[in-house]
A = this chain, B = another copy of it.
Amino acid sequence: MQLTLNSPLDMHLHLRQGDMLKTVAPLSSKSFAGALIMPNTLPPITTKEQVITYKEEILNATKDDKFKPFMTLFFKNNYSYEFLKDIKDEILSIKLYPDGATTNSDGGVASFDIESLRETLEAMSELEIPLNIHGETTGFVMDREKEFIPIYEQLATVFPKLKIIMEHITTKDAVEALDKHPNLYATITLHHLFITLDDVAGGMLKPHLFCKPIAKRPQDREALLNIALNAHPKVMFGSDSAPHPKEKKEAPGCAAGVFTAPIALPLLAHLFEKYNKLENLQKFVSDNAQNIYNLNIKNKKILLEQKEFKVPNSYNSIVPFMGGEKINWRIIDA
């Protein structure tokens, strides 16, 4: 069996910097026609100059003019209308991190007091710049996303013209919030469609499956699977592929992130085929995102075939999701 995907997009991707960028960027461009690039670099991407420089570094690393990096800014509540108007053509959206929520999120938003965010969010609404949010509170780790839902809902209500994307949703609660507000959207990762907390910590502890938000309960995974497999029009694939060197994962303090970029499409094909939903994969990995972000990317076809493929144990020093395991779809090189 073969499958052609038209311009698949990864709408939540960490490409990092330096040597790590050079390792992982070509692994994304091999599979995808474009990706939304997260701005939580060191330092974070907060200026037009940084956006342009980072984009050039990415293009140099992929050496693939058919791969489009959609750039984002690291949200700050002091971005003015003028600043945003000037930078608008260089970015696709702006990513909001609560302060300290995940890797390199220091300096993110410390308070969700609406008035402190109003000027920037109204400017974004007017300029039609979508807002990506890492929606977690600082509460108990299993409750952080659920506790954040009222904040999503308040923002969606107060700024009705702002497109708000709930990034990497992991709970039934977030799925239920999705349809309550016309301007709420969501990305879902690969790994949250496959694993629950049982896979991370139910047997041996698996640092390579540790991520933020942490994988939740079986019923949460079921809710995510349901909207992904049915290609709910407000839901897009965003891998949140987040590489760390092996020595930072197998350590006394293991960094959060699962590296999925190189095997995302084969595993999605496996999953959608397993549930007899292969006809919906094109929407989940491209069409929905193009509609939500008003994109028109049609320049790349990715051909997959149903054939055994052994996932490498590592890509340089990075251990991928399902490293060393056999999966039953693979990408056919162009």
User: Among residues 177 to 232 in chain A, which have CB atoms less than 8 Å away from a CB atom of chain B?
Assistant: 196-198, 200-208, 210, 214, 217-218
User: Among residues 31 to 55 in chain A, which have CB atoms less than 8 Å away from a CB atom of chain B?
Assistant: none
A154 to B284, CA, bound (A): 49
Does A64 sit at the interface, judged by CB under 8 A?
no
Contact check: which of B197, B217, B252, B255 meets A207 at CB < 8 Å? B252
Tell whether A200 pairs with B198 under 8 Å between CB atoms, given A206-B252, A250-B251.
Answer: no
Could you tell me the distance in whole angstroms from the C-beta of A294 to the nearest C-beta in chain B?
38
One complex includes copies of this chain to the number of: 2
Does A142 sit at the interface, judged by CB under 8 A?
yes
Contact check: which of B208, B214, B251 meets A201 at CB < 8 Å? B214
A310 to B256, CA, bound (A): 29
Q: Given the complex, which residues of B lie within 8 Å of A202, measured CB to CB? A: 140-141
Q: Given the complex, which residues of B lie within 8 Å of A141, measured CB to CB? A: 197-198, 201-202
* Residues of A in contact, count (CB < 8 Å): 27
Does A253 sit at the interface, judged by CB under 8 A?
yes
Q: Given the complex, which residues of B lie within 8 Å of A210, measured CB to CB? A: 201, 205
Tell whether A140 pairs with B217 under 8 Å between CB atoms, given A207-B207, A207-B252, A252-B207.
Answer: yes
Could you tell me the distance in whole angstroms from the C-beta of A211 to the nearest C-beta in chain B?
9
Does A11 sit at the interface, judged by CB under 8 A?
no
Does A254 sit at the interface, judged by CB under 8 A?
yes
Could you tell me the distance in whole angstroms from the C-beta of A76 to the nearest C-beta in chain B?
24
- Are A208 and B250 in contact, with the CB atoms below 8 A? no
- From A323, which residue of chain B is reached at the shortest CB distance? B252
A203 to B136, CA, bound (A): 13
Does A58 sit at the interface, judged by CB under 8 A?
no
Does A319 sit at the interface, judged by CB under 8 A?
yes
Q: Which 9 A-B pairs have the closest CB atoms?
A: A204-B253, A205-B254, A141-B202, A205-B210, A141-B198, A250-B250, A205-B207, A141-B201, A141-B197
